[in-house]
Amino acid sequence: MTLVNSVNCLNNCSSFPPTIRSIRILLFHTYPNYVEPNWPIVLYSLSKLRQLSSLRVFMYDLPKTVDNRNCEMIANVASSFSDFGFYFRYKFDTSDGSEYETIFKDHRKFIKQLCHDILQLSFDKPPYYSIEDDSCGLAMWF
């Protein structure tokens, strides 16, 4: 299932089929229907979907990164999936990129912190992971 700027619909996830195994969340900050995710509620709602094994979150043109408190919450929930990804992206090609460069430095720090926080959790065997070349995305397999 793909949710585009509609994380609020997760508040009613009891109406979703219980067999959902994969969710991809796309958040476009520049779209008029963008709502900043309330991560505790989003993560709680996702935890109700018992067969959900894959979660990918893509955040486009976000003007500031996710804060440290939410980073810890995301890290703690990430290991409940066998396949997890979190990515920051530009929606359009910005050749000068100057306005986004400062923001993406913070996004890179967040991705590294998220990876670190997940790896600090206790596992039977360490997860496989990949940080993208530009450090703006993280994929993990548990």
Can you tell me which residue has the tokens 């992206």? 89
| pLDDT reported for residue 96 | 58
Question: Cα(86)–Cα(74) distance, rounded to whole angstroms?
Answer: 10
Each of the 142 residues of the chain gets a pLDDT tens digit; together they read 999 999 888 888 878 888 999 999 999 999 989 999 999 999 999 998 999 999 999 999 999 999 999 999 999 999 999 999 999 998 765 555 677 788 999 999 999 999 999 999 989 899 999 999 999 999 999 9
Please name which of 88, 112, 87, 114 lies closest in space to residue 101, comparing C-alpha atoms.
Answer: 88
Burial of 58 (0-12, 13-18, 19+ CB in 10 A): middle
| pLDDT reported for residue 95 | 54
Q: What is the residue type of 47?
A: S
Question: What are the φ/ψ torsions at residue 57 (nearest 5 degrees)?
Answer: -120, 125
